[in-house]
Structure 1
Amino acid sequence: FGDPPKSLLNLIDASLLRNTAGRLGISEISQKRGALFFYVTQPNAKQLQALMQKYYDRIAFNDREAPYFVAVRIKKGELSVELMREVIAVFDAHAE
C-alpha cells in the first residue's frame, strides 16, 4: 500500500502533540492572526521565562487572569506544527 500521505502523518503528529499538551495543562491550541495561541490552565514562571528566552521577539502572553495564554508568532515559511512541537517541548522541559 505504500507510505501514508504526509498530510496524514502531520495530522497524527498534531494529535499526539495535543495529547502531550493536555498532560501539561494546555487546554487549547489555536492559530490566528499569524500566531499559535496556547491556552494554559496556569503557566509557571519557569515555563514563561524559558519561552521568553527562546522566542523573545515573537511572544506575547497573559498570565494575570484566565484564560491564560501564550502566543508565539509564526515566522514566514515556518510550519505551524514544528513551532507547536518546539513550544510544547519547552513547556514540558520546565513543567513542575
Structure 2
Amino acid sequence: ECLIDLPVDASIPASYISSTPQRLDMYKTIANIRSNEEANDVYDELTDRFGVPPASVYGLVEIALLRNTAMKLGIYEIRQAGINAKFFLNDVKPEYLIALNEKMRGRAKLNSGKKTFISVETIGGDTIGCVRDTLNLLSDSVKNE
C-alpha cells in the first residue's frame, strides 16, 4: 500500500450514492483503477447509474491512480509538507533524481535521513499536478532503463 496524504476532497458522498453497499462497491472499484482508460470507464458507469459525479469523486479517482502508480515505483508514502510534495521510497535510484531535476529544473531534492524521500517543490500550489507529473516522470525513467 501507498499512503497518500494530500489536500484533496476524495470521497463518494451519501448524497450521490445513497445505498451504503453500492457506495462501498464503488469505493472498491475505484481503488482498483490502474489507468486513465479504466478511470473513464468508471466515470461512464457512475454517470449512467447515478448522474454526473461530484468533484470529490474525481478527487478519489485521481488519488487511486496516483496510489497505484506510486506502488509500481516502490513509493510507500506521498504527502504534502508546506510547498513540497514528499515521495518516500525504500530504494532511491540516482537516475530518478537526475531525471526529475532535468525535467523540473532543480526542484527535486533527495533527503536520506531516517526515512529516505524525494522532495519536489510544487508550483502555484498545485500539489496534485506536481505529484502526477513527478510520478509520470519517474515512470518514464523506469521505462527507459
Q: State the TM-score, normalizing by the size of structure 2.
A: 0.58
Number of residues of Structure 1 aligned to a counterpart in Structure 2: 94
Q: Contact 1:10–1:81 at 8 Å: present in 2 too? A: no
Structure 2 residue 69 is the aligned partner of structure 1 residue 69: no
State the distance in 2 between where 1:15 and 1:67 align.
Answer: 24
Q: Following the alignment from structure 2 to structure 1, what is the Cα–Cα distance between the partners of residues 69 and 114? A: 21
Q: 26-35 or 52-61: which moved more?
A: 52-61
Q: Deviation of residue 85 (structure 1)?
A: 0.9
- Does 2:104 match 1:55? yes
Q: What is the RMSD of the two structures over their aligned residues, measured on CA atoms?
A: 1.7
Name stretches of at least 5 consecutive residues in structure 2 with no aligned partner.
Answer: 1-49
**Which one has the bigger helix percentage?**
2
Is 2:103 the counterpart of 1:79? no
The structure whose RCO (Cα within 8 Å, separation 6+) is larger is: 1
The structure carrying a bigger strand percent of its residues is: 1
Instruction: State the TM-score, normalized to the length of structure 1.
Output: 0.84
When Rg is computed on C-alpha atoms for both structures, the one with the higher figure is 2
| Runs ≥4 residues deviating over 4 A | none
Deviation, structure 1 residue 58: 2.0
